[in-house]
Structure 1
């Protein structure tokens, strides 16, 4: 089960989507919805906090890529934040970090 919390800062410029749990075929739709809602809010920047993500599979990677592309199409900055070492390794191997900014 994935838990997500979406928050908008006071001036509406930053939306943070905090994900928790495992992002896989069973939970990926929740991630897609959360990222879609974040993009629809039209902030200047979306940060996906992955600190509490224990695992991500190819469907989860696809959801992140889709969210990134939708944000880019709306001129919204998109970045990932604080992935665990295991998740970061998957992000590196997938090549996603070549196009999406990550903060430690």
Structure 2
């Protein structure tokens, strides 16, 4: 590979796309992101959270299909937690993958936002 090929931004791989499935069960909104949550993809999760407009919203983010999360994802979770609790609602996290759990633990988010090993526990607590 030549230097020109490496330096050409058109030859760089695109960041993984993030998709977010939304569902509701017992008046609890369940968001299931799939892919990586980073500064390139985080708006998808932010938009899904912003689309929840019910009074005192209760939200679970099921992280079992998230392969990576950087500080952008952490910031989205903190902002969502604050916004939801300010309106009398709550945010819970469920089933984080090992890499995501490591990130949550390192920065201490798991001590601020309820983090559950199963979706059922996140919905029941």
Q: TM-score surpassing 0.5?
A: yes
Give the aligned partner of residue 86 of structure 1: 99
- Give the total of aligned pairs: 101
Q: Runs of 5+ in structure 2 lacking a partner?
A: 1-16, 118-125
Greater CA radius of gyration, 1 or 2?
A: 2
Structure 1 segments (4+ residues) deviating >3 Å: none
Give the aligned partner of residue 3 of structure 1: 19
Q: Runs of 5+ in structure 1 lacking a partner?
A: none
Q: Select the structure with the greater relative contact order (CA < 8 A; seq sep ≥ 6).
A: 1
TM-score if structure 2 supplies the norm length? 0.76
Decide whether the 8 Å contact of 1:14 with 1:43 is kept in 2: no
More strand by share: 1
**2:38 maps to which of 14, 24, 27:** 24
TM-score if structure 1 supplies the norm length? 0.90
